[in-house]
Amino acid sequence: MRLNRLPDYEGRLMALKRLETSVGQPAIDQWQSFASTQISTALTNQTPSTIAIDRTKILWQDDLKAVLHQREALNELTWQTATTIAMAQTEIKSRHMQVNILKQELVPLSNQSEEEAIYKYNGMFIGTWKLLDHYREKIEANIALVSAQLAYWNAEYAYAAYIAGASYAPSK
């Protein structure tokens, strides 16, 4: 998993475990029940602005606050990683579709167009410049295919590097 390759993920996870053991599960459970009752009350009354932390009703410690912040940071990191992976996979799929469309449709059409232009040239229906224009279109289609393949492989390698632990740099 990508998260295990992050340099500080294991340290953060261990710090969270230490904080959770120092705070104790009853305090965490008390906080979770208090928060869920506050949220459900606010949703029932349809007044989200009434959510307030009453520190006299729960056993509030600085360590509990640190546990909550640490959990939130790890959840954010997990969410960012999942989002980046999904974005990279989507880019790979779209680049692959682009390559397939070019390879299966555009390049064969340009080859066929050039062959027809050669037949027309041999039959003296078109001139040399028109024949050269068809040849340029064929070359441009092949260049577009090569560029699309290059973009696909760049996206594939950027994804593989991200999974291996590098930062994600989407291809252009």
Residue 62, domain extent:
2-164
Q: Is residue 171 part of a domain?
A: no
Q: Please give the single-letter amino acid code of residue 151.
A: A
3-state secondary structure 17-68: HHHHHHHCHHHHHHHHHHHHHHHHHHHHHCCHHHCCCCCCCCCCCHHHHHHH
Number of domains, the chain: 1
pTM of the model: 0.69
Q: Is residue 169 part of a domain?
A: no
Q: Is residue 70 part of a domain?
A: yes
Q: Please list the pLDDT of the chain residue by residue as tens digits (172 residues).
A: 567 667 677 787 788 888 888 778 887 787 778 777 777 777 777 766 666 666 655 556 667 778 888 888 888 888 888 898 899 999 999 999 999 999 999 999 999 999 999 999 898 899 999 999 999 999 999 999 999 999 999 999 999 988 887 888 776 6
Q: How far apart are CA 114 and CA 134, in angstroms?
A: 5
